[in-house]
Structure 1
Amino acid sequence: MIFRSLFGTGSGESAATLPVVRNITIGRTVRLDTLAWRRLEGLSFDIGRDTLDITAQGKITLDDGSYVHRFYTNDDVMLQAVSELADGSDADDFTVFHPWSSSYPSDELDKGAFIRRLFKAYWNEDGMPRFERFWYPDDPSDQEPVGLWEEIYEERTGPPLRRIYQRCMLYSRQVPPDGTELLLALAMKPDGGDLTHEIMIGLPLLPAEITA
Protein backbone atom coordinates (compact mmCIF):
# COMPACT_ATOMS: atom_id res chain seq x y z
CA MET A 1 0.00 0.00 0.00
CA ILE A 2 1.01 3.54 -0.67
CA PHE A 3 1.67 4.79 2.86
CA ARG A 4 3.61 1.89 4.38
CA SER A 5 6.98 3.67 4.05
CA LEU A 6 5.86 6.97 5.66
CA PHE A 7 7.73 6.49 8.93
CA GLY A 8 10.28 9.32 8.87
CA THR A 9 10.77 13.06 8.56
CA GLY A 10 12.10 14.97 5.61
CA SER A 11 13.22 18.57 5.24
CA GLY A 12 15.49 20.81 3.22
CA GLU A 13 14.93 23.04 0.23
CA SER A 14 15.74 22.40 -3.40
CA ALA A 15 15.77 24.48 -6.55
CA ALA A 16 16.09 21.49 -8.86
CA THR A 17 13.57 20.71 -11.58
CA LEU A 18 10.69 18.68 -10.18
CA PRO A 19 10.43 15.03 -11.16
CA VAL A 20 7.86 13.92 -13.70
CA VAL A 21 6.33 10.78 -12.21
CA ARG A 22 4.76 8.54 -14.87
CA ASN A 23 4.18 11.68 -16.95
CA ILE A 24 2.52 13.51 -14.02
CA THR A 25 3.68 16.98 -12.98
CA ILE A 26 2.51 20.59 -12.75
CA GLY A 27 0.51 21.65 -15.80
CA ARG A 28 -0.50 18.12 -16.81
CA THR A 29 -3.96 16.53 -16.77
CA VAL A 30 -4.43 13.12 -15.17
CA ARG A 31 -7.28 10.82 -16.10
CA LEU A 32 -8.48 8.23 -13.58
CA ASP A 33 -10.42 5.05 -14.28
CA THR A 34 -13.62 5.69 -12.32
CA LEU A 35 -14.35 1.97 -12.17
CA ALA A 36 -11.75 1.91 -9.38
CA TRP A 37 -14.42 3.37 -7.07
CA ARG A 38 -17.71 3.00 -8.94
CA ARG A 39 -17.56 -0.76 -8.46
CA LEU A 40 -17.37 -0.36 -4.65
CA GLU A 41 -20.35 -0.02 -2.30
CA GLY A 42 -20.97 2.42 0.55
CA LEU A 43 -18.01 4.74 -0.07
CA SER A 44 -17.53 8.18 1.45
CA PHE A 45 -14.91 8.85 -1.26
CA ASP A 46 -16.23 10.90 -4.19
CA ILE A 47 -14.26 13.33 -6.36
CA GLY A 48 -17.13 13.72 -8.83
CA ARG A 49 -15.00 13.51 -11.99
CA ASP A 50 -12.41 11.43 -13.81
CA THR A 51 -9.76 14.09 -14.54
CA LEU A 52 -7.33 16.01 -12.34
CA ASP A 53 -5.66 19.21 -13.56
CA ILE A 54 -2.39 19.42 -11.63
CA THR A 55 -1.57 22.93 -10.42
CA ALA A 56 0.86 22.20 -7.56
CA GLN A 57 3.33 19.49 -6.60
CA GLY A 58 4.66 18.35 -3.25
CA LYS A 59 7.88 16.53 -2.41
CA ILE A 60 8.76 14.62 0.75
CA THR A 61 12.08 12.92 1.44
CA LEU A 62 11.89 10.23 4.10
CA ASP A 63 14.61 9.15 6.49
CA ASP A 64 14.79 5.71 4.87
CA GLY A 65 15.81 7.32 1.57
CA SER A 66 12.46 6.89 -0.20
CA TYR A 67 10.33 9.67 -1.67
CA VAL A 68 6.71 10.76 -1.61
CA HIS A 69 5.38 12.73 -4.58
CA ARG A 70 2.11 14.62 -4.23
CA PHE A 71 0.15 16.27 -7.04
CA TYR A 72 -2.62 18.77 -6.26
CA THR A 73 -5.59 20.31 -8.03
CA ASN A 74 -7.03 23.75 -7.30
CA ASP A 75 -9.72 22.14 -5.12
CA ASP A 76 -7.11 20.19 -3.10
CA VAL A 77 -7.63 16.73 -4.54
CA MET A 78 -4.29 14.99 -3.99
CA LEU A 79 -2.74 12.19 -6.03
CA GLN A 80 0.17 10.59 -4.18
CA ALA A 81 2.96 8.26 -5.32
CA VAL A 82 5.78 6.61 -3.35
CA SER A 83 9.12 5.72 -4.93
CA GLU A 84 12.58 4.51 -3.98
CA LEU A 85 14.19 6.71 -6.64
CA ALA A 86 14.20 10.51 -6.47
CA ASP A 87 12.92 10.88 -10.03
CA GLY A 88 9.88 8.70 -9.28
CA SER A 89 10.56 6.42 -12.25
CA ASP A 90 9.96 3.32 -10.12
CA ALA A 91 6.71 4.56 -8.51
CA ASP A 92 3.99 1.93 -8.58
CA ASP A 93 1.98 2.72 -5.41
CA PHE A 94 -0.65 5.44 -5.90
CA THR A 95 -3.47 6.86 -3.83
CA VAL A 96 -5.98 9.61 -4.59
CA PHE A 97 -7.42 11.69 -1.74
CA HIS A 98 -9.97 14.45 -1.46
CA PRO A 99 -10.60 16.77 1.50
CA TRP A 100 -13.33 15.79 3.95
CA SER A 101 -12.90 18.52 6.57
CA SER A 102 -10.51 21.30 7.50
CA SER A 103 -10.55 23.38 10.68
CA TYR A 104 -8.42 25.57 12.89
CA PRO A 105 -8.10 24.37 16.50
CA SER A 106 -10.28 26.49 18.72
CA ASP A 107 -7.81 26.47 21.62
CA GLU A 108 -4.95 24.48 23.14
CA LEU A 109 -7.35 21.84 24.44
CA ASP A 110 -8.72 21.27 20.95
CA LYS A 111 -5.19 21.09 19.55
CA GLY A 112 -4.14 18.52 22.12
CA ALA A 113 -7.29 16.44 21.69
CA PHE A 114 -6.70 16.08 17.94
CA ILE A 115 -3.09 14.99 18.44
CA ARG A 116 -4.15 12.43 21.03
CA ARG A 117 -6.61 10.98 18.53
CA LEU A 118 -3.74 10.47 16.07
CA PHE A 119 -2.16 8.02 18.54
CA LYS A 120 -5.20 5.75 18.61
CA ALA A 121 -5.75 2.45 16.78
CA TYR A 122 -9.04 3.64 15.27
CA TRP A 123 -10.72 6.80 13.98
CA ASN A 124 -14.38 7.70 14.34
CA GLU A 125 -15.46 10.55 12.08
CA ASP A 126 -18.98 11.98 11.97
CA GLY A 127 -20.93 10.73 8.98
CA MET A 128 -18.64 7.78 8.28
CA PRO A 129 -18.11 4.23 9.54
CA ARG A 130 -15.24 3.45 11.89
CA PHE A 131 -11.74 3.24 10.39
CA GLU A 132 -8.97 1.06 11.82
CA ARG A 133 -5.34 2.15 11.86
CA PHE A 134 -3.56 1.09 8.67
CA TRP A 135 -0.07 1.44 10.10
CA TYR A 136 0.88 -0.92 12.96
CA PRO A 137 -1.84 -3.44 11.99
CA ASP A 138 -3.26 -5.63 14.77
CA ASP A 139 -1.58 -3.51 17.45
CA PRO A 140 -4.21 -1.86 19.71
CA SER A 141 -1.68 0.23 21.66
CA ASP A 142 -1.13 3.95 21.12
CA GLN A 143 1.47 4.76 18.46
CA GLU A 144 3.34 7.96 17.64
CA PRO A 145 1.95 9.77 14.59
CA VAL A 146 4.23 10.07 11.56
CA GLY A 147 6.00 13.43 11.29
CA LEU A 148 7.23 14.83 7.98
CA TRP A 149 8.10 18.00 6.06
CA GLU A 150 6.54 18.63 2.66
CA GLU A 151 7.83 21.16 0.14
CA ILE A 152 5.09 22.61 -2.09
CA TYR A 153 5.83 23.93 -5.58
CA GLU A 154 3.66 25.77 -8.11
CA GLU A 155 6.39 26.00 -10.78
CA ARG A 156 8.44 23.21 -12.33
CA THR A 157 11.73 24.95 -11.44
CA GLY A 158 12.83 27.14 -8.58
CA PRO A 159 12.51 26.95 -4.80
CA PRO A 160 9.40 25.68 -3.02
CA LEU A 161 6.56 28.12 -2.49
CA ARG A 162 6.13 26.92 1.10
CA ARG A 163 7.07 24.14 3.50
CA ILE A 164 4.57 22.39 5.74
CA TYR A 165 5.21 20.24 8.80
CA GLN A 166 2.69 17.46 9.24
CA ARG A 167 1.85 14.93 11.92
CA CYS A 168 -0.40 12.30 10.48
CA MET A 169 -1.87 8.83 10.78
CA LEU A 170 -3.49 6.64 8.14
CA TYR A 171 -6.61 4.54 8.70
CA SER A 172 -8.55 2.15 6.49
CA ARG A 173 -11.74 0.13 6.23
CA GLN A 174 -12.82 -2.65 3.91
CA VAL A 175 -15.65 -1.95 1.48
CA PRO A 176 -17.54 -4.53 -0.60
CA PRO A 177 -17.00 -6.30 -2.78
CA ASP A 178 -13.19 -6.17 -2.52
CA GLY A 179 -12.00 -2.62 -1.91
CA THR A 180 -10.29 -0.45 0.69
CA GLU A 181 -11.19 3.10 1.67
CA LEU A 182 -8.59 5.24 3.44
CA LEU A 183 -8.77 8.11 5.93
CA LEU A 184 -5.74 10.34 6.40
CA ALA A 185 -5.81 12.54 9.51
CA LEU A 186 -3.26 15.37 9.66
CA ALA A 187 -2.21 18.23 11.89
CA MET A 188 -0.54 20.64 9.43
CA LYS A 189 1.48 23.78 10.11
CA PRO A 190 3.14 25.76 7.28
CA ASP A 191 6.32 27.70 8.04
CA GLY A 192 5.06 31.02 9.34
CA GLY A 193 1.42 29.88 9.18
CA ASP A 194 -1.32 28.56 11.44
CA LEU A 195 -1.97 24.98 12.48
CA THR A 196 -4.97 23.25 10.89
CA HIS A 197 -6.64 19.88 11.41
CA GLU A 198 -7.28 18.05 8.14
CA ILE A 199 -9.23 14.90 7.26
CA MET A 200 -8.86 13.39 3.77
CA ILE A 201 -10.63 10.39 2.26
CA GLY A 202 -8.86 8.26 -0.30
CA LEU A 203 -8.55 5.11 -2.37
CA PRO A 204 -5.50 3.13 -3.51
CA LEU A 205 -5.06 3.03 -7.27
CA LEU A 206 -3.22 0.72 -9.63
CA PRO A 207 -0.85 2.34 -12.15
CA ALA A 208 -3.11 1.02 -14.93
CA GLU A 209 -5.96 3.11 -13.48
CA ILE A 210 -4.00 6.35 -14.05
CA THR A 211 -3.27 7.98 -17.41
CA ALA A 212 -1.36 11.26 -17.92
Structure 2
Amino acid sequence: MFTKLIKKFKGKEAPVVTTPEIMGLRLGASFELDPLAIRLILDELTIESCSPTQIIKAVGVVELDGTWVYRFYTDDDAWLQVVAEGGQSDEHVVDVKLFHFYDTQDVSSQQVWDTLLKEKIGAANYQLDDRSYSRVWTSTGDYHNPVHMAEKTYEEGGDFSQTDQFTMLFERELSDQRTESLFLSAEEKEENAGYLSRSLVISTGITLTPSQLTIHG
Protein backbone atom coordinates (compact mmCIF):
# COMPACT_ATOMS: atom_id res chain seq x y z
CA MET A 1 0.00 0.00 0.00
CA PHE A 2 2.72 2.47 1.01
CA THR A 3 4.72 1.58 -2.10
CA LYS A 4 1.74 2.52 -4.26
CA LEU A 5 1.32 5.83 -2.45
CA ILE A 6 5.00 6.71 -2.90
CA LYS A 7 4.79 5.94 -6.60
CA LYS A 8 1.65 8.05 -6.84
CA PHE A 9 3.29 11.11 -5.29
CA LYS A 10 6.49 10.64 -7.25
CA GLY A 11 4.49 10.56 -10.44
CA LYS A 12 2.95 13.96 -9.75
CA GLU A 13 4.56 16.87 -11.51
CA ALA A 14 5.00 20.22 -9.82
CA PRO A 15 2.38 22.73 -10.97
CA VAL A 16 3.54 24.98 -13.78
CA VAL A 17 3.70 28.64 -12.77
CA THR A 18 2.50 30.87 -15.59
CA THR A 19 4.29 34.22 -15.48
CA PRO A 20 2.63 37.36 -16.89
CA GLU A 21 3.47 38.51 -20.42
CA ILE A 22 2.22 41.05 -22.95
CA MET A 23 3.51 42.56 -26.20
CA GLY A 24 6.08 39.76 -26.33
CA LEU A 25 7.56 40.98 -23.05
CA ARG A 26 8.15 38.14 -20.60
CA LEU A 27 10.57 36.78 -18.04
CA GLY A 28 13.95 36.17 -19.68
CA ALA A 29 13.19 38.22 -22.80
CA SER A 30 14.97 41.45 -23.73
CA PHE A 31 14.13 44.72 -25.43
CA GLU A 32 15.98 47.51 -27.17
CA LEU A 33 15.32 51.24 -26.97
CA ASP A 34 15.68 53.66 -29.83
CA PRO A 35 18.89 55.50 -28.77
CA LEU A 36 17.39 58.84 -29.78
CA ALA A 37 14.45 58.30 -27.39
CA ILE A 38 16.82 58.88 -24.49
CA ARG A 39 19.82 60.68 -25.96
CA LEU A 40 17.98 63.84 -27.00
CA ILE A 41 16.65 64.47 -23.49
CA LEU A 42 19.20 62.70 -21.27
CA ASP A 43 20.68 65.96 -20.00
CA GLU A 44 17.26 66.96 -18.68
CA LEU A 45 16.44 63.65 -16.99
CA THR A 46 17.17 62.65 -13.43
CA ILE A 47 18.98 59.51 -14.59
CA GLU A 48 22.57 59.77 -15.81
CA SER A 49 22.55 56.83 -18.23
CA CYS A 50 20.26 54.25 -19.80
CA SER A 51 21.26 50.96 -21.38
CA PRO A 52 19.88 50.61 -24.94
CA THR A 53 19.43 46.85 -24.45
CA GLN A 54 17.81 45.48 -21.30
CA ILE A 55 17.14 41.92 -20.11
CA ILE A 56 14.01 41.15 -18.08
CA LYS A 57 14.95 39.50 -14.77
CA ALA A 58 11.58 39.61 -12.97
CA VAL A 59 7.94 40.31 -13.86
CA GLY A 60 5.17 41.83 -11.75
CA VAL A 61 1.45 42.32 -12.35
CA VAL A 62 -1.27 44.35 -10.62
CA GLU A 63 -5.02 43.99 -11.26
CA LEU A 64 -7.16 47.12 -10.76
CA ASP A 65 -10.84 46.67 -11.68
CA GLY A 66 -10.40 45.97 -15.40
CA THR A 67 -6.94 47.52 -15.67
CA TRP A 68 -3.77 45.45 -15.61
CA VAL A 69 -0.40 46.96 -14.77
CA TYR A 70 2.56 44.88 -15.94
CA ARG A 71 6.08 45.60 -14.71
CA PHE A 72 9.17 44.10 -16.29
CA TYR A 73 12.24 44.52 -14.06
CA THR A 74 15.55 44.61 -15.91
CA ASP A 75 19.30 44.28 -15.42
CA ASP A 76 19.68 48.08 -15.80
CA ASP A 77 18.12 48.84 -12.40
CA ALA A 78 15.02 49.75 -14.36
CA TRP A 79 11.45 48.58 -14.96
CA LEU A 80 9.24 48.83 -18.02
CA GLN A 81 5.59 49.42 -17.12
CA VAL A 82 2.81 48.42 -19.52
CA VAL A 83 -0.80 49.38 -18.71
CA ALA A 84 -3.69 47.53 -20.37
CA GLU A 85 -7.33 48.54 -20.00
CA GLY A 86 -10.38 46.35 -20.65
CA GLY A 87 -8.36 43.24 -21.43
CA GLN A 88 -4.95 41.65 -21.38
CA SER A 89 -4.12 41.50 -25.08
CA ASP A 90 -1.73 43.75 -26.97
CA GLU A 91 -4.59 45.81 -28.39
CA HIS A 92 -5.62 46.80 -24.85
CA VAL A 93 -2.30 48.51 -24.10
CA VAL A 94 -2.80 52.22 -23.39
CA ASP A 95 0.52 53.31 -21.87
CA VAL A 96 4.18 52.24 -21.79
CA LYS A 97 6.75 53.87 -19.50
CA LEU A 98 10.37 53.09 -18.72
CA PHE A 99 11.32 53.82 -15.11
CA HIS A 100 14.69 53.72 -13.36
CA PHE A 101 15.01 53.33 -9.61
CA TYR A 102 16.22 56.55 -7.99
CA ASP A 103 16.25 55.55 -4.32
CA THR A 104 14.84 53.06 -1.83
CA GLN A 105 14.45 54.38 1.71
CA ASP A 106 13.80 52.14 4.70
CA VAL A 107 10.76 53.08 6.80
CA SER A 108 11.69 52.29 10.37
CA SER A 109 8.66 53.39 12.39
CA GLN A 110 4.88 53.53 12.29
CA GLN A 111 5.00 57.31 12.65
CA VAL A 112 7.13 57.73 9.54
CA TRP A 113 4.86 55.33 7.64
CA ASP A 114 1.72 57.23 8.65
CA THR A 115 3.29 60.55 7.65
CA LEU A 116 4.18 59.17 4.22
CA LEU A 117 0.64 57.96 3.55
CA LYS A 118 -1.28 60.86 5.09
CA GLU A 119 0.88 63.89 4.30
CA LYS A 120 3.60 63.32 1.70
CA ILE A 121 2.90 60.82 -1.08
CA GLY A 122 -0.39 62.37 -2.15
CA ALA A 123 0.63 66.04 -2.00
CA ALA A 124 0.00 68.24 -5.04
CA ASN A 125 3.74 68.68 -5.69
CA TYR A 126 6.94 66.80 -4.93
CA GLN A 127 10.54 68.03 -4.97
CA LEU A 128 13.39 65.81 -6.11
CA ASP A 129 16.93 67.04 -6.88
CA ASP A 130 15.70 70.65 -7.11
CA ARG A 131 13.12 69.56 -9.67
CA SER A 132 9.43 70.11 -9.06
CA TYR A 133 6.88 67.47 -10.11
CA SER A 134 3.11 67.94 -10.17
CA ARG A 135 0.67 65.21 -9.21
CA VAL A 136 -0.99 63.53 -12.20
CA TRP A 137 -3.88 61.82 -10.46
CA THR A 138 -6.55 64.38 -9.59
CA SER A 139 -8.50 64.82 -6.39
CA THR A 140 -11.28 67.08 -5.15
CA GLY A 141 -9.02 68.24 -2.35
CA ASP A 142 -5.43 69.35 -2.01
CA TYR A 143 -4.36 65.87 -0.91
CA HIS A 144 -4.90 62.61 -2.81
CA ASN A 145 -4.84 59.40 -0.80
CA PRO A 146 -2.25 56.98 -2.21
CA VAL A 147 -3.59 54.37 -4.65
CA HIS A 148 -3.23 50.84 -3.33
CA MET A 149 -1.70 48.23 -5.64
CA ALA A 150 -1.09 44.59 -4.73
CA GLU A 151 1.71 43.39 -6.98
CA LYS A 152 2.59 39.75 -7.48
CA THR A 153 6.17 39.48 -8.69
CA TYR A 154 7.73 36.46 -10.39
CA GLU A 155 11.47 35.86 -10.52
CA GLU A 156 13.75 33.48 -12.37
CA GLY A 157 13.76 30.04 -10.82
CA GLY A 158 10.02 30.03 -10.09
CA ASP A 159 10.05 32.18 -6.95
CA PHE A 160 7.29 34.74 -6.47
CA SER A 161 6.22 37.24 -3.82
CA GLN A 162 3.47 39.78 -3.14
CA THR A 163 3.91 43.40 -2.11
CA ASP A 164 1.32 45.94 -1.00
CA GLN A 165 2.09 49.31 -2.55
CA PHE A 166 0.59 52.73 -1.82
CA THR A 167 1.42 54.82 -4.86
CA MET A 168 1.26 58.19 -6.57
CA LEU A 169 2.30 59.45 -10.01
CA PHE A 170 3.81 62.89 -10.72
CA GLU A 171 5.34 64.53 -13.79
CA ARG A 172 7.20 67.59 -15.01
CA GLU A 173 7.52 69.07 -18.49
CA LEU A 174 10.69 68.76 -20.59
CA SER A 175 11.85 71.10 -23.32
CA ASP A 176 10.57 68.93 -26.20
CA GLN A 177 7.01 68.84 -24.81
CA ARG A 178 7.51 65.39 -23.37
CA THR A 179 7.37 64.77 -19.63
CA GLU A 180 9.48 63.04 -17.02
CA SER A 181 7.41 60.94 -14.62
CA LEU A 182 8.01 60.44 -10.92
CA PHE A 183 6.53 57.36 -9.26
CA LEU A 184 6.36 57.09 -5.49
CA SER A 185 5.55 53.78 -3.84
CA ALA A 186 5.32 53.15 -0.10
CA GLU A 187 5.71 49.39 0.02
CA GLU A 188 5.18 46.79 2.70
CA LYS A 189 5.95 43.10 2.41
CA GLU A 190 5.78 40.13 4.75
CA GLU A 191 9.22 38.57 4.73
CA ASN A 192 9.90 34.84 5.01
CA ALA A 193 11.10 35.36 8.58
CA GLY A 194 7.61 36.56 9.51
CA TYR A 195 8.20 40.29 9.98
CA LEU A 196 6.79 43.18 7.93
CA SER A 197 9.29 45.28 5.99
CA ARG A 198 8.44 48.78 4.78
CA SER A 199 10.17 51.15 2.38
CA LEU A 200 9.65 54.16 0.15
CA VAL A 201 10.67 53.44 -3.45
CA ILE A 202 11.31 56.44 -5.72
CA SER A 203 11.54 56.00 -9.49
CA THR A 204 11.68 58.37 -12.48
CA GLY A 205 10.78 57.57 -16.06
CA ILE A 206 9.58 58.57 -19.50
CA THR A 207 6.74 57.51 -21.79
CA LEU A 208 7.67 55.40 -24.81
CA THR A 209 5.91 54.95 -28.14
CA PRO A 210 5.77 51.56 -29.96
CA SER A 211 8.32 52.79 -32.52
CA GLN A 212 10.86 53.45 -29.74
CA LEU A 213 10.79 49.87 -28.45
CA THR A 214 11.99 46.62 -30.09
CA ILE A 215 11.17 43.45 -28.20
CA HIS A 216 13.16 40.21 -28.47
CA GLY A 217 11.29 37.16 -27.18
Q: TM-score with structure 2 length normalisation?
A: 0.81
1:49 equivalent in structure 2: 51
Measured after TM superposition, the shift of residue 103 of structure 1 is: 1.1
1:134 matched to 2:133? The reply is: no
1:189 matched to 2:188? The reply is: yes
1:11 equivalent in structure 2: none
What are the residue-to-residue correspondences of 1:1-212 with 2, within 5 Å?
A: 17-40=18-41, 41-63=43-65, 65-84=66-85, 85-115=87-117, 116-125=119-128, 127-136=129-138, 141-155=142-156, 161-192=160-191, 193-212=196-215
Identical-residue share of aligned pairs (%): 28
Q: Look up the SS of the partner of 2:202 in the other structure.
A: strand
Residue identity in the other structure for 2:122? F
The verdict on how the C-alpha distance between 1:191 and 1:150 changes in structure 2, with shifts beyond 3 A counting, is: same
Asked whether the 8 Å contact 2:108–2:198 carries over to 1, the reply is: no
Measured after TM superposition, the shift of residue 92 of structure 1 is: 4.2
The verdict on how the C-alpha distance between 1:47 and 1:88 changes in structure 2, with shifts beyond 3 A counting, is: farther
Considering Cα pairs closer than 8 Å and 6+ residues apart, tell me whether 1 or 2 has the greater RCO.
Answer: 1
Measured after TM superposition, the shift of residue 164 of structure 1 is: 0.3
- Size of the aligned set, in residue pairs, is 194
Question: Could you tell me how far apart the structure 2 residues matched to 1:96 and 1:181 are?
Answer: 10
Question: Could you tell me how far apart the structure 1 residues matched to 2:127 and 2:111 are?
Answer: 19
Measured after TM superposition, the shift of residue 75 of structure 1 is: 4.9
Question: Could you tell me how far apart the structure 2 residues matched to 1:147 and 1:165 are?
Answer: 7
The verdict on how the C-alpha distance between 1:59 and 1:47 changes in structure 2, with shifts beyond 3 A counting, is: farther
Which runs of no fewer than 5 residues in structure 2 stay unpaired?
1-15
Larger radius of gyration: 2
1:4 equivalent in structure 2: none
Measured after TM superposition, the shift of residue 88 of structure 1 is: 4.5
Question: Could you tell me how far apart the structure 2 residues matched to 1:101 and 1:207 are?
Answer: 28
Measured after TM superposition, the shift of residue 94 of structure 1 is: 0.3
Q: TM-score with structure 1 length normalisation?
A: 0.82
Q: Which has more strand, going by share of residues?
A: 2
Question: Could you tell me how far apart the structure 2 residues matched to 1:46 and 1:166 are?
Answer: 27
Measured after TM superposition, the shift of residue 161 of structure 1 is: 0.8
How big is the alpha-carbon RMSD for the aligned residues of Structure 1 and Structure 2?
A: 2.3
Question: Could you tell me how far apart the structure 1 residues matched to 2:130 and 2:204 are?
Answer: 10
Residue identity in the other structure for 2:172? R
Name the stretch that deviates more: 172-181 or 44-53: 44-53
Which runs of no fewer than 5 residues in structure 1 stay unpaired?
1-14
Question: Could you tell me how far apart the structure 2 residues matched to 1:108 and 1:144 are?
Answer: 17
Asked whether the 8 Å contact 2:169–2:183 carries over to 1, the reply is: yes
Q: Which has more helix, going by share of residues?
A: 2
Asked whether the 8 Å contact 1:61–1:67 carries over to 2, the reply is: yes
1:134-170 per-residue CA deviation (whole Å, 9 max, x = no partner) reads 1118x661111100100001259x6x61000000100
